[in-house]
Each structure stands twice: as structure tokens, then as C-alpha cells.
Chain A
């Protein structure tokens, strides 16, 4: 079936470096994507979203890139900080206005 998934289960970066977290999706009809951050013991927290009519969207220290040709989504975090350590999920907003999540990538920031 259609799914949203991630390439890397764990990403370790040095504090101050940029982080790139990737996500592959298989439903070519998907038209809206969201990145969530989940800290240990907490629920998912919205980071940024993007619609399929866009290739790039920027927030504060975060950028989401969408490549519809290869069905690939990425989250870039600039100047990664220890507080960025968490699990990051991409999600597709499905027809029922609920979410289908990928498997998650754990980001570990080394001081």
C-alpha cells in the first residue's frame, strides 16, 4: 500500500552544524506534508508544512524541500542545537484530514 517512510533511523551531528533529515513517500497523489518533532515522553510538535505546489518553504532555522519527481521530502535544520535532539517524523495529511506518519529519524546533537 501507499506509505510515507524515512531513509535514516539515526542521525548524529555536531552542535552548530546543519542537519538534513530525509523522507520518501510513495503516494504520488499526496499534496500536503508536515514535519513533526517528538521529544522523549511527549506528543508530536508541529515544525513546518509544505504543499505540493511548492518546492521549498522556510521557517525559523528550518527549511523543507519537496522533490515531487522522486517523491522525496527533506527537513534542513541550520546551526543545530542540543535542544533539537529528538525524533523527527514526516507525515502526509490524508483524505480524511488525519495524518499518516513515516517511521521517524532520531537526531542526536553532540556538544
Chain B
């Protein structure tokens, strides 16, 4: 019963380094997304995908890239990490379907990223 799996759980980067946060879901969900959560704040949408080969920008996309080559995977790439990207990152997935089906939105456990 894996659900949404994120790796790594914790990561420390130096400014300017690049890295990829991995996200995988085994529920055959069409929709996947990445959020960041800063201390004491709600989640903000970075990028999302409505299906394999399709991605779009969310509220705070700058500094991040995504791709969706398969239904299962939705990696988030930081090309040149900055201290402002220190945050907790959550991946989420959802089945395609009616908007009144909130209980099908699944979140990963989060990835804690610190950029020094």
C-alpha cells in the first residue's frame, strides 16, 4: 500500500547545486503536483501535470523544472539551488474525476530541503 512515495526525506544542498526530488505513485492517478510549504504557511503549488507528457506551472514555478514521462513518476528538479528554496516539498496525486472527490487527493510524506 505505497500510495505516493517521495525521496529523499531530507536533503542539504549548497547554493548553486542541482538536485531532483523524486515522486512516484502506484495508483494510476492522472493528476500529479508539487507543493512547497514554508514555516507557518500553507502549501503553494509549484507545478502540476494532468497526464503523461503534460505539465503546467502553478503559483511559484520559478527555479523549478518538472517532467512527466510516465504516469507513475513526476520528478521535481532544482537547477541551481538558492536559500529561498529552503522548504518542505510535498508531492500529491489525484484521480481524474469529479471535483467533489477530495478524498482521492493523496499526499506524500514530504521532503525537507535546506539550501545553505
Contact = CB atoms under 8 A, between A and B. Distances in A.
Asked if chains A and B come from one complex, the reply is yes
Interface stretch (A13-21, A40-48, A68-76, A77-85): A40-48
Contacts of A93: 99, 102
Interface in B43-60: 43-45, 48, 50, 56, 58-59
B62 interface: no
A42 B43 CA distance: 13
A43 B9 CA distance: 12
A51 interface: yes
A97 B94 contact: yes
Contact size range, A: 20 to 34
Contact of B50 (A45, A97, A99, A101): A97
B109 A34 contact: no
Given A41-B110, A43-B108, A49-B100, A96 B42 contact: no
Of the candidates A51, A93, A97, the one having the most CB atoms from chain B within 10 angstroms of its own CB is A97
Nearest to A35: B102
Interface magnitude class on chain B: 20 to 34
Contacts, number: 69
Interface string A42-64: 11111001010000000000000
Nearest to B3: A43
B74 interface: no
B99 A32 contact: yes
Interface string B81-116: 000000000101010100110110101111000000
Given A32-B99, A100-B59, A43 B45 contact: no
Nearest to A50: B100
Interface string B1-30: 000100000000000000000000000000
Given A93-B99, A104-B42, 5 more contacts: A32-B99, A51-B100, A97-B94, A98-B31, A100-B45
